[in-house]
């Protein structure tokens, strides 16, 4: 009897062993809020999600040996709802732009028991490109001064709104001299296409979408404000303290996403178009060499300064709560992630890309629909190639040139062209193109006219 009972107990025990190990496995839910319609968040959002980079870097040893990960992604059209979902603990990580990031930190610090940490960047533009003011393509407005007495729309509370306020202040246009309207990116873009609004200020990549579709024209680029435009990653502090290695894994995934894009920008933007619906030619303007966005997860002092400045704007305009930047921003996780990857954090933190300097001498590019992107070291070679390709009836997806003043990458078709003698120069704004033409004895010509100069008979 005793032996029978012992045997039963032994068998039952043996049968329960697998269940016992399952019971000890901890389920770790990782929920990330990202924005597939905001290019600067892609390296911590859609790219990491679609390539499974977070799963690749998640820890599997030590206290995580039995961990059962449940990774989920939620796509939002703006940063505000991400913050709300993080407060309800339905999201652990949030990826957003500078202004919503600040609101995130301030709203959490307003509570008694909840906090977020700003743990890494995704990318930046040193001078503020990414935000821009656009007018309908046929508008007779060419500079911000001409917006006096006009109606300008913007998504209030966004980085583009902050840029618009500063741009108007810098140009001594008081708020009473223009009518500010609150419009979503999609509605603003639709209104620009229909000519229903005089101007619209928006964040990346909306201005370039309008330019690419031929509905809008930039009259002011965010780089003119001189305030860096950056995006970053926030994480709930309770999650980060419980699973610091998971936060490090996330940052490693962000870093790898950047490397993947740099490795082959054309492949990257083609895949991103499929994931986000944003045209690859527009994304190329951001993610290619010389593009608007510098992919960099490090946290630089300049970013802290820019965020502090932006917080001041939000306090003045929207009375948001105070934000203790010292407590909110931490480099601990990003440094640990870099150390694990064997990458020199200090060196990357110290490097700063200024398009005006970095893009000097970069080749012009043509995106042939069949053959892909080809590069040209000078204007004659570029224009000759465009003329030849057009002569064969080839479809060109896009052409890319650089603004002489700012170094910004532009679509060839939207740039202002100046021909002086046999030289050609391209500009973002008409005013600077005219000044250059006057100084160099040149004249403004259209892109088509410039191409026509290189069409050879026969």
Partner 1 sequence: MRVLATIGHTIRRDWRRMLGQGVLFALLFQLFMMIALIVRFQQLPNYVTTYDWFGNVAWIIRSTPSWSDMWPIIAEEWLIEIGHMNYDYGNGISVWSLNVIPSRLVVLSVLGAMIALCLSLLRRDSCSTRTATTLRATTGLGAVLVAMTNATMSWVVCCATPSWVVGLAMLGLGVSTSLALETMGPLLTGLGFGLLTALIVLLAWRATPPTTSMKGTPRHA
Q: Which residues in this chain contact partner 1 in the complex, by CB under 8 A?
A: 36-37, 75, 77-81, 84, 87-90, 99-100, 103, 111-114, 154-158, 161, 175, 180-187, 189-190, 206, 209, 238, 276-278, 314, 317-320
Distance, CA of 10 to CA of 227 (rounded, Å): 71
* Cβ nearer to partner 1, comparing 97 with 412: 97
Q: Dihedral sign for Cα 253, 254, 259, 261, please.
A: positive
Min dist. Cβ of residue 64 to partner 1 (A): 21
Distance, CA of 292 to CA of 145 (rounded, Å): 25
SS3 416: strand
Task: Give the max Cα distance, the chain.
Answer: 111
Give the DSSP letter of residue 127.
Answer: T
Min dist. Cβ of residue 360 to partner 1 (A): 33
Distance, CA of 114 to CA of 275 (rounded, Å): 33
**What count of residues does the chain have?**
458
Min dist. Cβ of residue 269 to partner 1 (A): 14
Cα 156 from chain centre: 18
Min dist. Cβ of residue 424 to partner 1 (A): 33
Strand order in the sheet with 416-420: 423-427, 416-420, 443-445
* Cβ nearer to partner 1, comparing 202 with 432: 202
* Cβ nearer to partner 1, comparing 181 with 413: 181
* Cβ nearer to partner 1, comparing 158 with 223: 158
What six digits make up the tokens of 172? Answer: 């001594």
Min dist. Cβ of residue 236 to partner 1 (A): 9
Give the DSSP letter of residue 290.
Answer: T
Min dist. Cβ of residue 190 to partner 1 (A): 7
Min dist. Cβ of residue 223 to partner 1 (A): 22
Min dist. Cβ of residue 50 to partner 1 (A): 13
Min dist. Cβ of residue 314 to partner 1 (A): 7
* Cβ nearer to partner 1, comparing 205 with 355: 205
* Cβ nearer to partner 1, comparing 63 with 318: 318
Min dist. Cβ of residue 299 to partner 1 (A): 21
Task: Burial-class residue 55 by CB neighbours within 10 Å (0-12, 13-18, 19+).
Answer: middle
* Cβ nearer to partner 1, comparing 267 with 318: 318
Do strands 116-125 and 132-136 pair parallel, antiparallel, or not at all (unpaired)?
unpaired
Q: Which residues of 150-162 are buried (b: 16+ CB within 10 A; e: fewer)?
A: eebbbbbbbbbbb
The contacts of residue 116 (CB under 8 Å, 6+ apart) are: 86, 94, 104, 105, 108, 234, 235, 236, 237, 328
117 close to 97: Cβ distance less than 8 angstroms: no
* Cβ nearer to partner 1, comparing 292 with 311: 311
* Cβ nearer to partner 1, comparing 209 with 362: 209
Task: Burial-class residue 59 by CB neighbours within 10 Å (0-12, 13-18, 19+).
Answer: middle
* Cβ nearer to partner 1, comparing 182 with 308: 182
Q: Which residues of 16-49 are buried (b: 16+ CB within 10 A; e: fewer)?
A: eeeeeeeeeeeebebbbbbbbbbbbbbbbbbbbb
């Amino acid at each position: 009897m005793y032996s029978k009972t012992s045997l039963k107990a032994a068998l039952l025990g043996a049968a329960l062993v697998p269940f016992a190990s399952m019971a000890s496995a901890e389920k770790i839910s990782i929920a990330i809020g990202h924005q597939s319609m905001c290019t600067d968040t892609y390296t911590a959002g859609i790219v990491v999600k679609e390539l499974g980079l977070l799963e690749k870097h998640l820890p599997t040893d030590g206290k995580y040996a039995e961990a059962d990960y449940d990774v989920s992604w939620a796509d939002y059209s703006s940063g505000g709802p991400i913050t709300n979902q993080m407060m309800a603990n339905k999201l652990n990580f949030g990826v957003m732009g500078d202004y919503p990031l600040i609101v995130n930190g301030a709203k959490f610090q307003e509570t008694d028991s909840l906090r977020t940490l700003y743990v890494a960047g995704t990318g930046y533009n040193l001078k503020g490109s990414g935000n821009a003011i656009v007018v309908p393509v046929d508008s007779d407005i060419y500079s911000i001064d001409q917006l006096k007495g006009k109606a300008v729309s913007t998504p209030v509370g966004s980085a583009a709104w902050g840029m618009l306020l500063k741009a108007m202040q810098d140009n001594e246009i008081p708020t009473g001299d223009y009518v500010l309207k609150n419009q979503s990116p999609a509605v603003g873009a639709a209104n620009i296409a229909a000519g229903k609004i005089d101007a619209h200020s928006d964040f990346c990549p909306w201005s370039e979408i309008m330019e690419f579709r031929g509905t809008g024209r930039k009259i002011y680029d965010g780089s003119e404000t001189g305030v860096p435009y950056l995006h970053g990653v926030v994480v709930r502090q309770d999650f980060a303290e419980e699973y610091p290695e998971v936060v490090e894994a996330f940052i490693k995934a962000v870093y790898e996403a950047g490397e993947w894009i740099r490795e082959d920008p054309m492949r990257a933007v083609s895949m991103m178009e499929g994931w986000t619906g944003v045209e690859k030619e527009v994304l190329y303007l951001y993610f290619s060499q010389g593009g608007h966005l510098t992919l960099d997860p490090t946290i630089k002092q300049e970013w802290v300064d820019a965020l502090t400045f932006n917080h001041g704007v939000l306090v003045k305009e929207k009375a948001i709560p105070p934000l203790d930047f010292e407590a909110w921003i931490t480099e601990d996780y990003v440094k640990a992630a870099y150390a694990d990857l064997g990458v020199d954090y200090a060196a990357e933190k110290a490097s700063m890309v200024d398009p005006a300097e970095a893009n000097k001498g970069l080749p012009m590019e043509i995106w042939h629909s069949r053959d892909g992107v080809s590069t040209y070291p000078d204007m004659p070679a570029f224009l000759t190639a465009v003329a030849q390709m057009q002569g064969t009836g080839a479809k060109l997806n896009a052409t890319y040139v650089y603004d002489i003043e700012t170094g910004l990458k532009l679509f060839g078709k939207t740039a202002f062209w100046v021909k002086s003698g046999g030289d050609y120069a391209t500009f973002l704004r008409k005013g600077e193109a005219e000044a250059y033409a006057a100084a160099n004895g040149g004249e403004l010509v259209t892109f088509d006219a410039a191409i026509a100069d290189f069409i050879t008979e026969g």
